Amino acid sequence: MTAHTVAPGGPHQAREVREDVDDLVRRRVPGQSLEAPFYTSQEVYERDLDVVFGQNWIFVAAAAEIPEPGDFVTVEVGAWSVILVRDDDEQVQAFHNVCRHRGSRLLPERQGSVGNIVCPYHRWTYGVDGKLMFAESQPPTFDKSCFSLRSVHVRNLAGLVFICLAQDAPEDFDAVAEVIEPHLRPYELDKAKVAVTYDLPEAGNWKLVMENNRECYHCDGHPELITAYFPLFAYEAEDITPRLKPLYDRYVKAGDALAKVRADHGLPVRDHRELDTRQVGFQLSHLPLDGEGKSFAPNGGAVCSKLLGSVKDAAFGDLSLHMQPNSWFHLLSDHAVVFSVLPTSTGTSTLRTTWLVHPDAVEGVDYDLDALTMVWRATNDQDRALVAGTQVGCTNPGYVPGPYSMVEDDVEAFVNWYVTRLREAIA
Amino acid sequence: MTAHTVAPGGPHQAREVREDVDDLVRRRVPGQSLEAPFYTSQEVYERDLDVVFGQNWIFVAAAAEIPEPGDFVTVEVGAWSVILVRDDDEQVQAFHNVCRHRGSRLLPERQGSVGNIVCPYHRWTYGVDGKLMFAESQPPTFDKSCFSLRSVHVRNLAGLVFICLAQDAPEDFDAVAEVIEPHLRPYELDKAKVAVTYDLPEAGNWKLVMENNRECYHCDGHPELITAYFPLFAYEAEDITPRLKPLYDRYVKAGDALAKVRADHGLPVRDHRELDTRQVGFQLSHLPLDGEGKSFAPNGGAVCSKLLGSVKDAAFGDLSLHMQPNSWFHLLSDHAVVFSVLPTSTGTSTLRTTWLVHPDAVEGVDYDLDALTMVWRATNDQDRALVAGTQVGCTNPGYVPGPYSMVEDDVEAFVNWYVTRLREAIA
Amino acid sequence: MTAHTVAPGGPHQAREVREDVDDLVRRRVPGQSLEAPFYTSQEVYERDLDVVFGQNWIFVAAAAEIPEPGDFVTVEVGAWSVILVRDDDEQVQAFHNVCRHRGSRLLPERQGSVGNIVCPYHRWTYGVDGKLMFAESQPPTFDKSCFSLRSVHVRNLAGLVFICLAQDAPEDFDAVAEVIEPHLRPYELDKAKVAVTYDLPEAGNWKLVMENNRECYHCDGHPELITAYFPLFAYEAEDITPRLKPLYDRYVKAGDALAKVRADHGLPVRDHRELDTRQVGFQLSHLPLDGEGKSFAPNGGAVCSKLLGSVKDAAFGDLSLHMQPNSWFHLLSDHAVVFSVLPTSTGTSTLRTTWLVHPDAVEGVDYDLDALTMVWRATNDQDRALVAGTQVGCTNPGYVPGPYSMVEDDVEAFVNWYVTRLREAIA
């Protein structure tokens, strides 16, 4: 008997996969979950870093985290470390967080504020525009202009900061931004205040975290979250029984009301779904909320007394934005929550969640931090447990891919987008 | 100079071994310990999981751990997780512990009791017979009968549960069971009570744990254990000096008495040694005990006042059973101790030890837990230190295989059995 | 787009490197720092252990650590463990720390004293000369003389113990020893007393620790250290401004005075620099000290009231010895500090620092331990942080090699020596 009579995957899948990432990609079967090595093998993880995180636009921060010139955050993407800094023209710049001399990390902190960027090792000094200003004991032939910090592509989309680590960034970001920006504009996120940022370590491959976010088939496990929405996630039209009809009618009515409110603001109302039909895949939806219809308070009420930006009506629904490969966003009248997933190893990731409120909102006066963050802290933690259980499950050689249900179409769209990127890279 | 002028093995053995597990197996030299990579390389570890643990019958639990329908334990073998559950017909069933939908682990606990097996992710629900009973939001074409839990081969040998993870299990298990079962029957282990189970993490490759168990050349290091036995382990007939003669005579006499007692019970007395002469390798011996000759109390006395099953005479000796590749057992008149070794990485393993007593025995009344478990808790811990010292020693490039002494024949039999399995897989 | 449009190195560099250590070595560019995989890839780490630590003379201990027959220390070099023991003829012997039977580690402790070396597993017993004296239960054919401990090449250079793990050790050690020994002799380190040994874990590849030691371009970060020296490290002759002239003149004067003192002792005064011009690369310098010019006390004063060996004048300067690949030494009139760097993984190392004083010096009377060790405890810890920042920086795919400044010539000499060893091994 050979090893191959063992269940698919098998304890030495990493070995087999070494030569076979391309085969894995080619033989992927639509309509069902991916084979185990996509979640467990070092080779696929490295391929993901190269082809997905190394080649695509990824969401990494809210521009509101660096409001002033010299303010910076550092972002870890796999082994990459990138400095996001607001320059003297108030533009967001992105640089590799590594000295041009002998490679010391420049800024070890998660965030802070600097005049110049000074290497802790030999004091090489760079401006916030990345230019090398000073380096001691150099020969006359030394040309400072050849040793600026290496820049990274960056876009600030209405206050959401995206980077691309490739030398040539995908070109359709601007086209997508043109569609999305008018929807985001009224919330004025670039000027918002960061209420808090939490990093949640996930014991699962980054794709399992994303797949978990892309369906509500498991939302029975999210009691805090589902009270805000109309609990019709797992239902198709034909599932609407007489018992559900009143709820369904209320849902349709709330949707119409929301469309009217947005029209009154002169805002676009149309939803967009291009999750797997372009490289910068996204989905934008305006979701009505249940109860008071305002925000995430248990009764559907507001969690902050000041509305964001130019929003005038508290019953503004939930602008839900999903972007491939690593982010999602919920914008409500009184606050926004922005999410990014970043891989840290084959079987681990970090989910960063940032809550944004009106720049003048005062904690303890206009909002209570626990109440503001309660729904998504609880939801993230519930999902963390489900993702960890799936990672350990997929690692089991007894795992075989199973079929997606009728309500997991966005999961499949995510996987389609992902596999398409890998196929393009192979081609 | 090339790397190969360094001592055998060398710090990059894992690299060299990658292409060479087959060569390692082919060039194994009988009569001496294995080359270092057998204990230190990831490649050999993966081969062991495939060829040894993935293809052979391995002991994983006492049936007494799951006495009632719905009772389950989960067992980790490398990356595998297997559910052992007592079904409604009181038979022991074994399933891969992974959902047929998107691969979530089904039962995270080490043990418990369930009505049905419900996936924590999307609530797919399976019976204890493994059949899928319910899955929400499926299209009409969905056929539940195609998504039963994947079963694993399982045998309950007189209360000892063995599984085989291969698609086709070795056929000679039943022939071996026929030889062993009559010896085990009087102890009625299937009906026994679990006094306690301990998991001991070992800082050594699983084979070092097994090799350590297969010889008593090191038994000077087991003061608690050897008092129970006749300390003649390291001696050949020609080693019996005049000083040892009285002890030796006492040993022969006790052996005859034990044979008589077992004959009076109408039980088989013959020993069996097929450690490396068949795939289901085993050794069964009836060992007389010293002192009172009953059990593991310091004076050879009993450690539980109720005898197991239908055993009538406390001086029933020690039925010692060794099975390849991962288990050994000591059955005495008043209790039984069962051991399984499971690999967790190249250099680590888990030794699980379970103590069984009469179903009606009451802790604190019929037995004291510390007294019951003292000898093997001490012995396991002493062996743990010896195994850890050997793992770190074999990892040293300065290690070269050495010769087995005259009293390490069962170690060599274990290695013979092991190498034979690897050779068969190569062929 | 392929993975190679990502920055050099890239998250899967370990993968690429697998086939390419030879290419990395061949394409090394003089005058700039090494490519990332030299510091981050498992393949290079294994090559370093084979070719650098497995083939060259490395400093591992002060002979003063094992003053009496039977005294031993154990040294870990990668996966190797070596016993250094003083034999009955008071010579330092070196053996692989592994039993010739089944590979158990023999001496687990970092140091101690033994009569014989007894294996903890099966009691095989060896003399401190490595000869097997006893092994139980062996057949008559067993020849003890075939199972002596495997010896390791060892040299005691005026109290500094070097080993070579290769079967054939580089031959030029003795020629280098002849040059160095007369400089070391007056300090009589073999008879010295060990005041203390500290092991400092470094979060960096061993080469980053060495490179950090080989330049003072970063010495602004060492306030405690530079007070002892003339702060002219980063200066070339043409950098001596009028403001610096007085300091520079003082420096030249102190140098002349030191040369005279040593001449009066009838000692060699010449410096030697053969860092990359032979296999046993080294640099020996006599550095004048500032202030009182005696030792590392803040004012340049002594830190021990008894002078080492036959040294008569406290103003004896600093005999600074650098040896490739892993050590450096500072010998002063009143104490000596010896340093060895040993790799523990691709990205980690251990820096062992030992302080030596006169054999009759009494702690609390002749020296205060904190005062004796303050300068290098502080300096080591400052360097630890710089090394860790460089390791994490080089791991960033955004890293590209940068140019050495005019004052990093000893760093380049270290890298030249290192790359030459790897090239020789390839050839």
> What's the whole-model pTM score?
0.93
CA–CA dist C65, C191 (Å, integer): 10
- Residue C399: DSSP 8-state: -
Least confident range of A164-178, A205-219, B257-271, C406-420: B257-271
Instruction: Specify which residues B327 forms β-bridges with.
Output: B323, B340
Q: Which residues on chain C are in Cβ contact (under 8 Å) with A139?
A: 406
What is the distance in angstroms between the Cα of A233 and the nearest Cα belonging to chain B? 10
CA–CA dist C216, C211 (Å, integer): 10
Share the mean pLDDT of chain B.
Answer: 93
Q: With bands split at pLDDT 50, 70 and 90, how would you rate the model's confidence at A244?
A: confident
Distances (CA, A) of C240 to A193, B267, C225: 52, 100, 21
Contacts of B39 (CB under 8 A, 6+ apart): B204, B205, B207, B208, B346, B347, B390, B391, B394, B395
Asked whether the beta carbons of residue B3 and residue C137 sit closer than 8 angstroms, the reply is no
Report the residue of A382, A399, A406 to disrupt the B interface, i.e. the one with the largest count of B CBs within 10 Å: A399
Q: What is the pLDDT of residues C254-285, one digit of tens each?
A: 999 999 999 988 899 899 999 999 999 999 99
Candidates A338, A336, A333, A331; CA nearest to A306 is A333
* Contact status, residue C356 vs residue C62, Cβ threshold 8 Å: yes
Average pLDDT over residues B180-208: 97
What is the distance in angstroms between the Cα of A298 and the nearest Cα belonging to chain C? 44
Nearest to A167 among C5, C33, C36 (CB): C5
Candidates B285, B284, B321, B278; CA nearest to B417 is B278
Report the residue of B6, B208, B219, B382 to disrupt the C interface, i.e. the one with the largest count of C CBs within 10 Å: B6
What is the distance in angstroms between the Cα of C109 and the nearest Cα belonging to chain A? 35
Tracing tokens 């489900």 back to the chain, one arrives at A386
Q: What is the pLDDT of residues A365-404, one digit of tens each?
A: 999 999 999 999 999 999 999 999 999 999 999 999 999 9
Q: What is the pLDDT of residues A36-88, one digit of tens each?
A: 999 999 999 999 999 999 999 999 999 999 999 999 999 999 999 999 999 99
Instruction: Specify which residues C28 forms β-bridges with.
Output: none
Q: Which residues on chain B are in Cβ contact (under 8 Å) with C123?
A: 220
Distances (CA, A) of C146 to B28, B32, B34, C150, C170: 20, 14, 18, 10, 27
Asked if the C-beta of C234 comes within 8 angstroms of chain A's C-beta atoms, the answer is yes
CA–CA dist C325, C415 (Å, integer): 10
C42 CB-contact burial (10 Å; exposed 0-12 / middle 13-18 / buried 19+): middle
Residue in B closest to A218 by C-alpha: B122
What ipTM describes this predicted complex? 0.92
Asked if the C-beta of C140 comes within 8 angstroms of chain B's C-beta atoms, the answer is no
Instruction: Specify which residues A272 forms β-bridges with.
Output: A284
Query: What is the pLDDT at residue B241?
Result: 85
B/e letters for B92-121, b = 16+ CB within 10 Å, e = fewer, are: bbbbbbbbbbbbbbbbbeebeebeebbbbb
Structure tokens at B211: 């090799």
Query: What is the pLDDT at residue B383?
Result: 98
Q: Which residues on chain C are in Cβ contact (under 8 Å) with B234?
A: 136-137
Report residue A120: phi and psi, to 5°: -70, -15
Report the residue of C21, C42, C102, C344 to disrupt the B interface, i.e. the one with the largest count of B CBs within 10 Å: C102
Average pLDDT over residues A157-170: 97
CA–CA dist B222, A127 (Å, integer): 69
Q: Which residues on chain A are in Cβ contact (under 8 Å) with C236?
A: 137
Residue in A closest to B144 by C-alpha: A403
Cis peptide before A242 (omega within 30 of 0): no
CA–CA dist B269, B286 (Å, integer): 7
Is the predicted pLDDT of residue A6 greater than 70, yes or no? Answer: no
Asked whether the beta carbons of residue B46 and residue A386 sit closer than 8 angstroms, the reply is no
CA–CA dist B20, A424 (Å, integer): 35
Residue-level pLDDT, tens digit, chain C, 427 residues? 222 223 333 333 334 445 489 999 999 999 999 999 999 999 999 999 999 999 999 999 999 999 999 999 999 999 999 999 999 999 999 999 999 999 999 999 999 999 999 999 999 999 999 999 999 999 999 999 999 999 999 999 999 999 999 999 999 999 999 999 999 999 999 999 999 999 999 999 999 999 999 999 999 999 999 888 987 765 667 778 888 888 888 898 999 999 999 998 889 989 999 999 999 999 999 999 999 999 999 889 999 999 999 999 999 999 999 999 999 999 999 999 999 999 999 999 999 999 999 999 999 999 999 999 999 999 999 999 999 999 999 999 999 999 999 999 999 999 999 999 999 999 8
Asked if the C-beta of A76 comes within 8 angstroms of chain C's C-beta atoms, the answer is no
Evaluated on CA atoms B291, B292, B295, B297, the torsion sign reads: negative
* Contact status, residue C212 vs residue C387, Cβ threshold 8 Å: yes
> 3-state DSSP: chain B helix, strand, coil percent, rounded to 5?
35, 25, 45
Q: Which chains touch C (3 or more CB pairs under 8 A)?
A: A, B
Cβ count near A168 (within 10 Å): 10
Structure tokens at C9: 């190195």
Q: Which residues on chain C are in Cβ contact (under 8 Å) with B220?
A: 123
* Contact status, residue A342 vs residue A207, Cβ threshold 8 Å: no
CA–CA dist B77, B98 (Å, integer): 14
Is the predicted pLDDT of residue B17 greater than 70, yes or no? Answer: no
Asked whether the beta carbons of residue A49 and residue C401 sit closer than 8 angstroms, the reply is no
What is the distance in angstroms between the Cα of A206 and the nearest Cα belonging to chain C? 16
CA–CA dist A224, A226 (Å, integer): 6
Asked whether the beta carbons of residue B234 and residue C136 sit closer than 8 angstroms, the reply is yes
Is the predicted pLDDT of residue A101 greater than 50, yes or no? Answer: yes
Print the SS3 string covering chain A: CCHHHCCCCCCCHHHHHHCCHHHHHHCCCCCECCCCHHHHCHHHHHHHHHHHHCCCCEEEEEHHHCCCCCEEEEEEECCEEEEEEECCCCCEEEEECCCCCCCCCCCCCCEEECCCEECCCCCCEECCCCCEEECCCCCCCCCHHHHCCCECEEEEECCEEEEECCCCCCCCHHHHHHHHHHHHHHHCHHHCEEEEEEEEEECCCHHHHHHHHCCCCCHHHCHHHHCCCCCCCCCCHHHCCCCCHHHHHHHHHHHHHHHHHHHHCCCCCCCEEECCCCCCCEEEEEECCCCCCCCCCCCCCCCECCCCCCCCCCCCCEEEEEECCCEEEEECCCCEEEEEEEEEECCEEEEEEEEEECCCCCECCCECHHHHHHHHHHHHHHHHHHHHHHHHHHHCCCCCCCECCCCCHHHHHHHHHHHHHHHHHHC
Instruction: Specify which residues B365 forms β-bridges with.
Output: none
Query: What is the pLDDT at residue B177?
Result: 98
Query: What is the pLDDT at residue B243?
Result: 86
Q: What percent of chain A has pLDDT over 90?
A: 86
Tracing tokens 């190569």 back to the chain, one arrives at B426
CA–CA dist B307, B333 (Å, integer): 5
Q: How far is CA B294 from the centre of its chain?
A: 24
Q: Which residues on chain B are in Cβ contact (under 8 Å) with A5?
A: 55, 166-168
What is the distance in angstroms between the Cα of B132 and the nearest Cα belonging to chain C? 41
* Contact status, residue B75 vs residue B99, Cβ threshold 8 Å: no
Query: What is the pLDDT at residue A233?
Result: 61
Report residue C235: phi and psi, to 5°: -110, 135
Contacts of C60 (CB under 8 A, 6+ apart): C75, C77, C82, C84, C161, C162, C163, C340, C342
Asked whether the beta carbons of residue C396 and residue A103 sit closer than 8 angstroms, the reply is yes
Nearest to B5 among C98, C150, C166 (CB): C166
Asked if the C-beta of B425 comes within 8 angstroms of chain A's C-beta atoms, the answer is yes
Radius of gyration of chain C, Cα coordinates, nearest whole angstrom: 23
Cis peptide before A325 (omega within 30 of 0): yes
Query: What is the pLDDT at residue A246?
Result: 87
* Contact status, residue C59 vs residue C162, Cβ threshold 8 Å: yes
Is the predicted pLDDT of residue A408 greater than 70, yes or no? Answer: yes
Nearest to A1 among B43, B81, B425 (CB): B425
Asked if the C-beta of B10 comes within 8 angstroms of chain C's C-beta atoms, the answer is yes
Radius of gyration of chain B, Cα coordinates, nearest whole angstrom: 23
Q: Which residues on chain B are in Cβ contact (under 8 Å) with A393?
A: 81, 97-99, 103-106
Share the mean pLDDT of chain A.
Answer: 93
What is the distance in angstroms between the Cα of A189 and the nearest Cα belonging to chain B? 34
Query: What is the pLDDT at residue A215?
Result: 95
Distances (CA, A) of C103 to B16, B55, C189: 20, 29, 35
Asked whether the beta carbons of residue B43 and residue A396 sit closer than 8 angstroms, the reply is no
Give the pairing type, strands B71-77 and C348-357.
unpaired
Asked whether the beta carbons of residue B108 and residue A389 sit closer than 8 angstroms, the reply is yes
Average pLDDT over residues A280-291: 95
DSSP code string of C68-80: STTEEEEEEETTE
Instruction: Specify which residues C155 forms β-bridges with.
Output: C162
Radius of gyration of chain A, Cα coordinates, nearest whole angstrom: 23
Q: With bands split at pLDDT 50, 70 and 90, how would you rate the model's confidence at B233?
A: low
Least confident range of B62-66, B241-245, B274-278, C305-309: B241-245
Average pLDDT over residues B406-425: 97
Report the residue of A2, A4, A5, A12 to disrupt the B interface, i.e. the one with the largest count of B CBs within 10 Å: A12
**Cα distance from N-terminal residue to C-terminal residue, chain B:** 36
Candidates A319, A273, A284; CA nearest to A412 is A273
Q: With bands split at pLDDT 50, 70 and 90, how would you rate the model's confidence at A234?
A: low
* Contact status, residue A200 vs residue A380, Cβ threshold 8 Å: yes
* Contact status, residue A315 vs residue A333, Cβ threshold 8 Å: yes
Asked if the C-beta of A108 comes within 8 angstroms of chain C's C-beta atoms, the answer is yes
Report residue A134: phi and psi, to 5°: -155, 135
* Contact status, residue A128 vs residue A93, Cβ threshold 8 Å: yes
